């Protein structure tokens, strides 16, 4: 659970509770240990912090290069008069050539 302070507050700063510190608004708090989870729950209950949603990046799927086709399904050739765009491939870029031995 990710927690972000919404107001400045003083709270425990170690496992024993023998030290305190000031937590600033906007500060994100860790919750790796049990005492940190208890501190965060206390701040949330008192309206000093809020739980934030952590969005993990999704993997992007690499798509295979695709040849461009006409409406009737035949392949489109590259227009040599436009050297910066390859019309024969969807997206305008041809895949890199793979070198083979032999």
C-beta of residue 76 within 8 angstroms of C-beta of residue 88: yes
Residue 70 and residue 87: Cα distance in Å, rounded? Answer: 11
User: For a pLDDT cut of 90, what percent of the chain falls above it?
Assistant: 51
Cβ neighbours around 73 below 10 Å, total: 6
CA dihedral in degrees (72, 78, 81, 85; nearest 10)? 110
Residue whose pair of structure tokens reads 């860790």 in the numeric block: 30
- The 10s digit of each residue's pLDDT in 59-85 is 777 678 889 999 999 999 988 898 888
Confidence bin at 102 (pLDDT 50/70/90): low
Across the range 25-45, mean pLDDT stands at 93
Across the range 39-47, mean pLDDT stands at 94
Question: pTM for the complete prediction?
Answer: 0.53
Residue 44 and residue 55: Cα distance in Å, rounded? Answer: 20
What DSSP element (H or E) covers 16? none
Residue whose pair of structure tokens reads 């305008």 in the numeric block: 92
């Amino acid at each position: 659970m990710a927690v972000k302070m919404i107001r400045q507050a003083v709270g425990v700063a170690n496992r024993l509770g023998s030290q305190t510190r000031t937590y600033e608004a906007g500060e994100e708090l860790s919750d790796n240990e049990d005492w940190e989870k208890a501190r965060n729950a206390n701040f949330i209950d008192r309206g000093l912090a809020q739980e934030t949603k952590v969005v993990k990046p999704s993997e992007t799927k690499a798509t295979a290069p695709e040849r461009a086709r006409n409406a009737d399904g035949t392949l489109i050739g590259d227009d040599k008069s436009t050297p910066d765009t390859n019309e024969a491939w969807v997206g305008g870029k041809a895949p890199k050539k793979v070198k083979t031995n032999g």
